[in-house]
A and B are shown apart, each in its own frame.
Chain A
């Protein structure tokens, strides 16, 4: 169980939104992580390698912040085997469904894309069902 932290969620969400806003306004791009990362895997780093530079910033910044001002949130993850299975599902699902929490959930929702609204409802619903099954039917983690 984790604590309800609306203020840090609002601040964090605003920063993510600002990144996505700059993506539209400056680059004309959707700031979707599965898209950026997936294209990179296919050898497409984006115009002027913007995708690569974006990922460098995104990986480096949390480590920098952790060193300077550690967040109040801890880190608790399932076992490695479960995480690997989860990663496979996330990889296949985000490429097949053309997006993840950022591309559909933030950027797509912001422009009221019907595809993104449908995708977001489905992946949140699917996640809710899986967590309910794991925690309350099987009785594992938490």
Chain B
């Protein structure tokens, strides 16, 4: 049952990215281009996504358990630290540079194999570089 839910979640997520236009890097860069030809569409992705996600979180907290009897989510860390800040600066720079964040990069793999494939391979290298060398 967990796998069915996970597959469904992935399908919903991929559909959402595709419908919203986040699988087009130019659209993401247009959203970040506030000093130029700004395309504010992606604000609407967050404006819809955050409250809907909140409903799921609130229902989980209210019942104090999960539907599939999994451990309740608990935040690992609470404080703002240097890795959070430096990592977010680097991520944002890459996001602006390429117009891909991890979800849309993966979701575009079958649609744009060459470009998304290059992005995902480089992202894998970056993740391993961080996990094995930088943030060990």
Chain A nearest CB: distance from B118 CB in Å?
5
Chain B nearest CB: distance from A22 CB in Å?
5
Contact with B along A23-65 (1 / 0, CB 8 A): 1111111110110011001100011111111111111111101
Dominant SS among interface residues on chain B: helix
A14–B48 Cα distance when bound, in Å, is 5
Q: List the B side residues contacting A33 at CB < 8 Å.
A: 13, 101-103, 106
A62–B103 Cα distance when bound, in Å, is 11
Chain B nearest CB: distance from A129 CB in Å?
7
A115–B57 Cα distance when bound, in Å, is 17
Q: How many of chain B's residues have a CB under 8 angstroms from any CB in A? A: 114
**18 new A-B contacts at CB < 8 Å, known A9-B43, A119-B84, A130-B32:** A4-B39, A22-B56, A46-B6, A58-B10, A60-B110, A62-B17, A63-B111, A73-B21, A75-B26, A78-B25, A102-B13, A106-B53, A115-B84, A119-B88, A129-B93, A131-B36, A136-B36, A142-B30
Q: List the B side residues contacting A96 at CB < 8 Å.
A: 83, 86-87, 90, 130, 134-135
Cross-chain contact of B3 among A48, A86, A98, A118 (Cβ < 8 A): A48
Please tell me the size bucket of the interface on A: 35 or more
Please state if B14 and A92 are interface contacts (CB–CB under 8 Å): no
Given known A-B contacts A62-B18, A62-B107, A134-B96, A109 and B129 have beta carbons under 8 A apart: no
Contact with A along B59-91 (1 / 0, CB 8 A): 110000011101111011111100111111111
Q: List the A side residues contacting B57 at CB < 8 Å.
A: 21, 24-25, 107, 110-111
Q: CB-nearest residue of chain A relative to B90?
A: A93
A12–B83 Cα distance when bound, in Å, is 31
Chain B nearest CB: distance from A59 CB in Å?
5
Q: CB-nearest residue of chain A relative to B48?
A: A13
A15–B134 Cα distance when bound, in Å, is 35
Cross-chain contact of A87 among B40, B47, B100 (Cβ < 8 A): B100
Contact with A along B93-136 (1 / 0, CB 8 A): 11111111111011111111011001111111111111100110
